Amino acid sequence: MSPPDADPAQPPVDPLAEPLADLADLLLNVGRLVRARTPSGPEVVALTETERTVMRVVDLHPGAAPSEIARRARVRRTNVSAALQALEGKGMVERRPGTGRGVSVVPTPLARTNLRLLRAGWSRELAGVVDDRDALRRCNEVLATVERHLTSDR
């Protein structure tokens, strides 16, 4: 039953609306803060935001076609093409013959080394922040679920 002052024309308030909005806000800000502390230097290949986004999809889905990368990354195909060209120039990806006239994109050994350096730096930056392994595992599961949902074809 609705409270007496509820507007029947308005949908019921989702009790998770505020916590979900808080989660999105925290994700955006924590992502920005982690990026600000991402390792840099001559041993790390610097990437633009679009290149990072494309590289994540290539790392998670090696052999994906550029159109699949665009779909999964939620980035316009023309922007993916430009990013792939830049990533090829930096030695981070290779294009290989795919099915039909298409191509598939795979990370290079340099890309794998670069990702290892970044992950090691991120681990050092966050060491000691969350010491509860189960809480960290659960947090990663929740964030992976959010990522899958946001990149799904819905």
Q: What pLDDT, in 10s, does the model give residues 86-100?
A: 999 999 999 999 777
φ, ψ dihedrals at 20, nearest 5°: -70, -40
Residue 59: inside a domain = yes
| Contact in structure between 50 and 84 (CB atoms under 8 Å) | no
Residue 115 pLDDT greater than 60, yes or no: yes
| Contact in structure between 87 and 106 (CB atoms under 8 Å) | no
| Contact in structure between 93 and 57 (CB atoms under 8 Å) | no
Global pTM? 0.81
Over residues 120-140, the mean pLDDT reads 93
For 18-72, how does the pLDDT look when each residue is reduced to its tens digit (9 = 90+)? 999 999 999 999 999 999 999 999 999 999 999 999 999 999 999 999 999 999 9
Residue 148: inside a domain = no
Total domains in the fold of the chain: 1
Residue 76: inside a domain = yes
H-assigned helices in 66-108? 66-73, 77-89
Band (8; pLDDT cuts 50, 70, 90): low
Residue 26: inside a domain = no
φ, ψ dihedrals at 73, nearest 5°: -85, -15
Residue 143: inside a domain = no
| Contact in structure between 90 and 82 (CB atoms under 8 Å) | no
Residue 105: domain span: 44-128
Over residues 110-114, the mean pLDDT reads 96
